[in-house]
Amino acid sequence: MSAPAGDLGERLAALTGNRPWWPLVEPTPRWVRVRLGDELVADSRRALLHVQYGPGSLPRSFLPTYYVPRDDVLPGALVDPVEEPGGLTAWTVQAGGNRAPGAAWAHRTPPEPLGALAGLVTFAWRGPLTWLEEDEPLIAHARDPHKRVDVVQSSRAVRVEADGELLAESRRPLLLFETTLPTR
């Protein structure tokens, strides 16, 4: 007779000492933007990716998401700050006459290994906000680069040169993102 699947998984994890590799925080090479309606409210090439699956030590964290520096958020887009339990500050996001209450937040003092998120801002994935990676809309959460390879449309300017000679140039490239490899 075999053990129930849930018991077997727990026993194997206990025997091997394996735990999930998340949560983690790491820089991302992806250009990340957030819109409220037609208005851009965040535009960052300095975002950090927070990878988490299931409930974690940070309130409102469940799936992978991006955090951006406050300097990359449109001035005046974050209004009506509310200090919430657990070291969380939440804001209403406003732009272009639209408002999304509680749709942005930051952790003042996140626990390790998430300390790099302190003071960075993330946004809700539901409601009137739209996330973009490069030029493609995201649905529900950030893509996890440890589980996938992505080719995405972008509007970055890309030049390919060899020995000072221009070989190719595009303002509508397709970018290849692979785990631990440079963007191509």
| Model pLDDT for residues 135-154, shown as the tens digit of each residue | 999 998 888 887 778 788 88
Per-residue model confidence (pLDDT) at position 43: 98
Residue 71 pLDDT: 97
Q: How confident is the model at residue 10 (pLDDT cuts 50, 70, 90)?
A: low
Q: Using alpha carbons only, what angle is made at residue 155 by residues 138 and 116, rounded to the nearest 5 degrees?
A: 55
State the pLDDT at residue 20.
Answer: 57
Among left, alpha and beta (phi > 0; psi -120 to 50; other), residue 163 is left
Nearest partner of 34 among 3, 69, 5, judged by Cα = 69
Q: What is the pLDDT of residue 3?
A: 47
Structural domains in the chain, sorted by start: 20-142 (2.170.150.40)
7: pLDDT confidence band, cut at 50, 70 and 90?
low
Q: What is the DSSP letter of 145?
A: T
How does the average pLDDT of the chain come out, rounded?
86
pTM to 2 decimal places: 0.80
The pLDDT value given to residue 79:
98
Check residue 117 and give its pLDDT. 93
- For residue range 107-132, list pLDDT tens digits in order: 988 888 889 999 899 999 988 999 99
Taking only the tens place, the pLDDT of each residue in 26-55 is: 999 999 999 999 999 999 999 999 988 877
b/e for 101-116, b at 16 or more Cβ within 10 A? eebbbbbeebeeebeb
